Each structure stands twice: as C-alpha cells, then as structure tokens.
Amino acid sequence: MVNKLIKEDIKMFLTGNEVLAYAANSAEAEFMYGYPITPQNEIMHTWCKLLPKTEAGFLQTEDEISAGFSTIGGILAGKRAFTATAGPGNVIMQDAQSMAEMMRIPFVCAVMQRGGPSTATVIYAQQETRLTCYGGNGEGFRIVYSTAGHQDLYDYMIKAFNTAWKYKFPTYVLADGYQGKMREPVMLYDPASRGITMVPTEKALLADGEIGVDRKSIHMRNTYNMEEELMEVLDSYQVDYDKMAEEVAEWEEYKADDAEILVIAHGIVARSARTAIDELREKGIKAGLYRPITIRPLAVKPLREAVSRAKHILFTESANGQLAQMVLEKIYGLTTPYSTLFKMGVGVTGDDIVQKVENIVKEGV
C-alpha cells in the first residue's frame, strides 16, 4: 500500500500534469513506468517528487515500448501500475497496449496529445483520438475518457483506475498539451469522501494459494493456435465490452435541449464550445453542445436523440475529423445535415465557433 497524500478537500493551483500525478496517488496507484516526452513529462516529474512521501515506485524505461510492457509486467506482478505518454510515444506503445487488450490487463495510461503526424509540435492537438481508441492490431477493446480541464483530469484519472480494474480493459485519460501544461485551480479530494470505493488491486499471476490445491492455474494468453480459437475469445470480449459500454458510457449536454445548431466536440474543444454557445445564445441563436466524455465507447442512444432533435450539426476538433468519423458511424441513418470546423493541431477558440455558427445561420439552417 502507498501513502495517500490527499486526505481532505484541498483547492490547489496546478498544471494538469501535476493534477494527474496527484490523482494517480489518490487512486492508490503503486507504480509508474514511463519515458519522457513533451508535453507529459511533469506527470512523472511530479510522481517522482512525491515518492518520498507516497513510498510508491517509479521506473524510467529506455523507451515507450518498454514503458508499456513494463506497466503490464508490474500489473501481472500484482501492482496497481500505470503509465503516461504522448505523440510518437503513444504510437510505439501500441504494441503493449494491444497486448493489454488481448490479455485483459487493467492498463491505465494518460495520453497528453501533441501535434502530429510524427514529431510535429510539442504543444497541443486532438490528433491521437483515433490512435488512442483504435490503435494497435486489434479491435479497440479500450475505454477512453476525454477530459476538458483540470477537475476532469482529477476525477477521470481516479475513475480510470476503477474502470480498468473492474472491467479489465485498457483505460485511458485522453487529454492534450494544453491541459498538461496549463495552470488553473482544481479541487483535490479523497475519493472515499465522494462515496467512491476503489476497486481493489488483484494479483494476476502471483495469486495466493497453491495451484491445483487452492486454485486453478492462471493462464493469460496473447498467442493462439487456431483461427476459431482466437475468434471465440474475441467474441466473448465483444460481449463483455458491449455490456460494459452501457455502464461506463458518459456524455454531457449543454443547452442542447432546444438547440437548433448542435455542436459536437470532445475534450478541451468542448470547453471552447461552451463559451461560444453562451455568446451565440445572447445573440439569439439557439446553439447547444453534445460532448462525448467516453469517446470509446460512445453513448449511442443519447447521441442519436440529440442529433435527431437538432436542425444542423457542427463537428469541431483540433484534428481533421477523427471524432466526427466515429460519431457519423453511430448516427448512420439520421438525416440531420452537418458542417465541420477542423483545425489540425491547433486550438479551437470560442470566436472560431461563433463565426462558423453565424455563417451556418446566414446560409440558412
């Protein structure tokens, strides 16, 4: 057990990376594996700075391939381990992330998106949306929470550990360089004070008892001999995933009830959309927001209902429609027209959205 640092409510003025380190401690994480890449370095810097007090563990590996597999190793050894990465690091960690999917490892990873493709910028983007949801050679048996600020980072990092350990699918907090580097006030708390019970850390391979006497042997596989054998396993994963999806899917609506123009955005861009919607409402334009919080799995029913109610949809992202692609598949059959405001690797401001919506209105909804 580690020492938890946050025992009562405390308001702090932190960067998002610092928030994530505190959140992992509050979620009783015992070990972090990582490799430096901007803009997520301060997660491990902060985690390490706190080690004398938390008595948790840290290993800096030689690269992200190793960081991913070490995280899996730590979990198999019975530790509540996690990692964090960004950009090209997220790309090369996909092998380990696929393994976590295949072996149903409660792998927790914070992704602080930076510009892409390749090295691009160290600053910000939403261009790892598809990669984080569907990367690797597999089917995307993952849960991805897209956060929109520091309170979200704290809340959902804690939640990510519970989701991962309860359902045994890799779970991500998907944020970005803005959220990692920016400073804003945040309320830190002990999860128990909010009625949150942490799902216990189970020993996977090193379970108690004698094999064959007290318990069966544990055989976790990522290799299969026969095609059908593999499909049987994956079909059962799909059943688990679909059942889980109903329980974990989260979304948020803002002034969406009577919205004629519905903005669909995730993460920090959804926060800019709120600013825009307030301004548009003052100008008499009925705009609203639908923000998927879990972008994998998406909450399909409320999404379809919100889209059906609106006269026009505006997708906006700091990417070229990575979320829009996933959403469009889920709203197949609906005929609500849509427009797009995509800025690849660049922040979307409230003004950007206001102007775009005003143009849509001018052209006639």
C-beta of 117 vs 337, nearer to other proteins: 117
Asked whether 277 and 288 are in contact (CB, 8 A), the reply is yes
What is residue 226's DSSP assignment? Answer: S
349 lines the binding site for other proteins (CB under 8 A): yes
Report which secondary-structure segment, H or E, holds 304: helix 300-309
C-beta of 87 vs 297, nearer to other proteins: 87
Site for other proteins in 279-308 (CB under 8 A): none
180: closest CA among 144, 149, 145, 143? 149
CA triple 221-164-89, angle to 5 deg: 80
Longest C-alpha distance within the chain, in Å? 75
C-beta of 28 vs 352, nearer to other proteins: 352
Q: Minimum CB separation from other proteins for residue 216, in Å?
A: 51
Q: Minimum CB separation from other proteins for residue 124, in Å?
A: 8
C-beta of 155 vs 352, nearer to other proteins: 352
182: closest CA among 151, 145, 146? 151
351 lines the binding site for other proteins (CB under 8 A): yes
347 lines the binding site for other proteins (CB under 8 A): yes
Q: Minimum CB separation from other proteins for residue 135, in Å?
A: 24
- Distance separating alpha carbons of residues 55 and 222, to the nearest angstrom: 33
Q: Which position among 348, 357, 360, 361 is part of the footprint of other proteins (CB under 8 A)?
A: 348
271 lines the binding site for other proteins (CB under 8 A): yes
In this structure, is the dihedral angle defined by the CA atoms of residues 326, 299, 68 and 345, taken in order, positive or negative?
positive
What is residue 200's DSSP assignment? Answer: P
Site for other proteins in 168-197 (CB under 8 A): 178, 181-185
- Distance separating alpha carbons of residues 17 and 178, to the nearest angstrom: 10
Q: Minimum CB separation from other proteins for residue 351, in Å?
A: 4
Whose structure tokens read 């995509």? 342
Site string for other proteins, 118-157 (x = CB under 8 A): -x-xxx-------------------------x--------
Find the part of the chain contacting other proteins (CB under 8 A) among 45-53, 132-140, 206-214, 265-273. 265-273
Q: Which runs of consecutive H residues, i.e. helices, occur in 50-149?
A: 51-54, 64-76, 87-92, 94-102, 129-134
Report which secondary-structure segment, H or E, holds 359: helix 350-362
- Distance separating alpha carbons of residues 270 and 114, to the nearest angstrom: 17
Q: Minimum CB separation from other proteins for residue 208, in Å?
A: 48
C-beta of 30 vs 176, nearer to other proteins: 176
Find the part of the chain contacting other proteins (CB under 8 A) among 161-169, 186-194, 211-219, 271-279. 271-279
268 lines the binding site for other proteins (CB under 8 A): yes
Q: Minimum CB separation from other proteins for residue 179, in Å?
A: 8
Site for other proteins in 21-50 (CB under 8 A): 38
- Distance separating alpha carbons of residues 321 and 200, to the nearest angstrom: 38
C-beta of 105 vs 125, nearer to other proteins: 125
Burial group, residue 59, by CB count within 10 angstroms (0-12, 13-18, 19+): middle
C-beta of 146 vs 201, nearer to other proteins: 146
Contacts to other proteins by CB under 8 A = 13, 38, 119, 121-123, 149, 178, 181-185, 268, 271-272, 274-276, 278, 347-352
